[in-house]
Amino acid sequence: MSVVPLQALPLDRLRQRTSTKWRSYPDDVLPLFVAETDYPLAPAITDALTRAVLLGDTGYTPPDPGLGDAFSGFARRRFGWTVDPASVSSTCDVMMGVVEILRRVIAPGERVVVMPPVYPPFYDCVEEAGGVVERVPLAVSDQGWRIDLDGVGRALEEGARAVLLCNPQNPTGTVHSRDDLAALASLAARHGVAVISDEIHAPLTHAPARFTPFLSVSEEAASVGYCVTSASKTFNLAGLKCALMIGGAEPQRSLLRALPPEVGWRTGLFGALAGVAAMSPESDPWLDSLLVALDDQRRLLTDLLATHLPDARYLEPDAGYLAWVDVSAYGWGDNPATRIRRDARVALHHGPLFGAEGRGHVRINIGCAPEILAEAVERVGTLARR
């Protein structure tokens, strides 16, 4: 039986939302910047949150809200990855988890490898943890992006003490290969450094790509690695504040257990309730429908760019709903999103925030209705023809 694409909510209803996406700009601006999606919640999530509100269940998050068991089942079903529920702990959000782990695996002033173009908070999190960013840009070709293993190796030989990995990569949507992840794990093990893998976009991997959890790659990966993830990007739950941290082997699990109790207390109760519902088998059909919709959207963007912005460069992402588009050919400067928002009334994410490699680029959120994406690209295309 074919899976029906999930339908985005109508624009008039979306504009009633009070989140960042819908309150940052006037109503004449189409917002395709921040990583929020326009789809209805999975029914299991709506049911869980409605029940909590009706019960007044708005107190503190319990010590075990069921996240370990829920994630273990989800990882087995979606990734073929066996996870011990006892290895899973929680906190407020993924970047907070990254900071807490980094603080314990590096000393102040030590360098942390970051692979741009990459999610802008990576840079801030390294600094917040007391580290110094060591940039090792992804290697890029006509086929896409991959980890520059030689560059990472040099950085580790020169003293970098941790690697902050984004898998799948934000903003490019790259799903890093098993071979590259295994090679990265070997480098980290050889130099005795930690790898922290942000895998928040993993459930949104599009066929034929296959997501490989870093901790599952090898014993070496488990011996050096941490996974930090959340249901928030896939199920549009960012405002509810719940992220998971998983240790690959006993030393990493011991480190997570030794984190101050306040780290776990930061987990939002509604985030935990929604996360358990999201990762339950009941939500799998919703996720399957979302993936069909996003697959359609990434292909639609290819067609729209060919029609309205033929000089733009874009590779369909392996995962997620974020499209990385090079519009430098149009001469809109290093940060084209500024002119696009001003003159075309479309809000896109600023390319240079992802690193110097983002000059002349924009990131487009395609997690919306096809007609919204079409209108946005048409508006930008009109700007290109002026």
| Concatenated DSSP letters of 44-108 | HHHHHHHHHHHHT--SPPPS--SHHHHHHHHHHHHH-----GGGEEEES-HHHHHHHHHHHHS-T
Name the band, by pLDDT with cuts 50, 70 and 90, for residue 1: low
In angstroms, the first-to-last Cα distance of the chain is: 47
pLDDT computed for residue 53 by the predictor? 98
CA 173/CA 210 separation, integer angstroms: 12
Break the chain into its structural domains and give their ranges.
11-41+283-384, 46-281
DSSP letters of 277-296?
HHTSGGGHHHHHHHHHHHHH
pLDDT computed for residue 216 by the predictor? 98
Structurally, at CATH architecture level, domain 46-281 sits in 3-Layer(aba) Sandwich (3.40)
pLDDT tens profile 203-239: 999 999 999 999 999 999 999 999 999 999 999 999 9
For residue 103, is pLDDT > 90? yes
Segment 168-197 mean pLDDT: 98
Name the band, by pLDDT with cuts 50, 70 and 90, for residue 93: very high
Beta-bridge mates of residue 31: 347
For residue 142, is pLDDT > 90? no
Segment 353-359 mean pLDDT: 98
Segment 4-10 mean pLDDT: 97
Q: Which CATH class is domain 11-41+283-384?
A: alpha beta
The rounded mean pLDDT for the chain is: 97
**Cis peptide before 251, with omega less than 30 degrees from 0?**
no
Strand 225-229, strand 194-198: pairing: parallel
pLDDT tens profile 34-88: 999 999 999 999 999 999 999 999 999 999 999 999 999 999 999 999 999 999 9
pLDDT computed for residue 245 by the predictor? 98
Instruction: Decide if 206 contacts 317 (C-beta within 8 A).
Output: yes
pLDDT tens profile 245-300: 999 999 999 999 999 999 999 999 999 999 999 999 999 999 999 999 999 999 99
pTM score, two decimals?
A: 0.97
The percent of residues above 70 in pLDDT, for the chain, comes to: 100
Whether the CA torsion 163, 167, 274, 354 is positive or negative: it is positive
For residue 367, is pLDDT > 70? yes
Name the band, by pLDDT with cuts 50, 70 and 90, for residue 2: confident
Same fold, 11-41+283-384 and 46-281: no
